[in-house]
A and B are shown apart, each in its own frame.
Chain A
Amino acid sequence: MKIEELNKSILPIVRIDKSLDKYENKVLFPEKLAQANEAIKTIGLPKKKAL
């Protein structure tokens, strides 16, 4: 990507840290996940996409 394109881009610069992979299969916020599941079950997604 050219410098001008990078400046226009909203993409942040992110450094990969493989030590974070230990969290990938762990649900760190189970209550929030349960809330999200319940909300999607109840309301679904916006009309443009059906479940």
Chain B
Amino acid sequence: MKLDKYELNAGSNFVVFEFISEGPQGAIKKLIQFTETTYIDVYNLAFGDEDAKTGNINDLAISNNGDSEKVLATVVAAVIAFTEKHPDAWVYARGSTQSRTRLYRMGIAKYLSEISNEFEVYGQIQNEWEIFQLNVEYDAFLTQRKKH
């Protein structure tokens, strides 16, 4: 990807990723986790900030580090890396809040031209999946690598 993003570290199986957000609030460690749901090959994508004092991960934290676009680009990079190792995986993503889901939608829209050759991307609207379209409000997202 050509977009500016943070360096990513991954665990051995590429299901946990870590990166450091840098900005006015300092260095904030962020963790991304792909967790298998009760459905085979369907993974939930979630990410949050690590509390430096407790070590707990908080997906509702508002970092205010002025780098949300770079953070989103890094999360997209993690999805690319994860699905390279797990090519059959479906990745489900939904923001912790409505505004975060909207941020995800804007992020996907921004990277769609780069990823659409490699990924099928769907949006959830009224309990149905449809092929992701620009300027549509979705409740959640689902993606899988295309089979070439």
Of A12, A33, A43, which one neighbours B81 at CB under 8 angstroms? A12
Q: Is A11 touching B37 in the complex (CB atoms < 8 A)?
A: no
* Known A15-B10, A37-B38; contact A29-B18, beta-carbon cutoff 8 A: no
Q: How far is the CA of A16 from the CA of B18 in the complex (A)?
A: 10
Q: Is A11 touching B81 in the complex (CB atoms < 8 A)?
A: yes
Q: Is B1 touching A46 in the complex (CB atoms < 8 A)?
A: no
Q: Is A12 touching B80 in the complex (CB atoms < 8 A)?
A: yes
Most chain B CB neighbours (cut-off 10 Å) among A21, A29, A46: A29
Q: How far is the CA of A27 from the CA of B34 in the complex (A)?
A: 9
Q: How many residues of A contact B (CB 8 A)?
A: 31
Q: Give the residue name and chain of the A residue nearest to B90 (CB).
A: A45
Q: How far is the CA of A47 from the CA of B144 in the complex (A)?
A: 13
In the complex, 11 of the A-B residue pairs with CB atoms within 8 angstroms, ordered by the A residue number, are A10-B115, A12-B1, A12-B5, A20-B17, A29-B33, A29-B44, A33-B44, A36-B94, A37-B39, A43-B128, A46-B129
Q: Which residues of A contact B128 (CB under 8 A)?
A: 43
Q: Which residues of A contact B90 (CB under 8 A)?
A: 45, 49
A residues 1-45 touching B (CB-CB < 8 Å):
10-18, 20-21, 23-24, 27-29, 32-33, 35-37, 39-40, 42-43, 45
Of B9, B13, B42, B142, which one neighbours A17 at CB under 8 angstroms? B9
Enumerate chain B interface residues (CB-CB to A < 8 A): 1, 5, 7-18, 31, 33, 35, 37-39, 42, 44, 46, 48, 57, 59, 77-78, 80-81, 84, 90, 92, 94, 96, 114-115, 118, 120, 122, 124, 127-129, 140, 142
Q: Is B129 touching A16 in the complex (CB atoms < 8 A)?
A: no
Q: Is A14 touching B8 in the complex (CB atoms < 8 A)?
A: yes
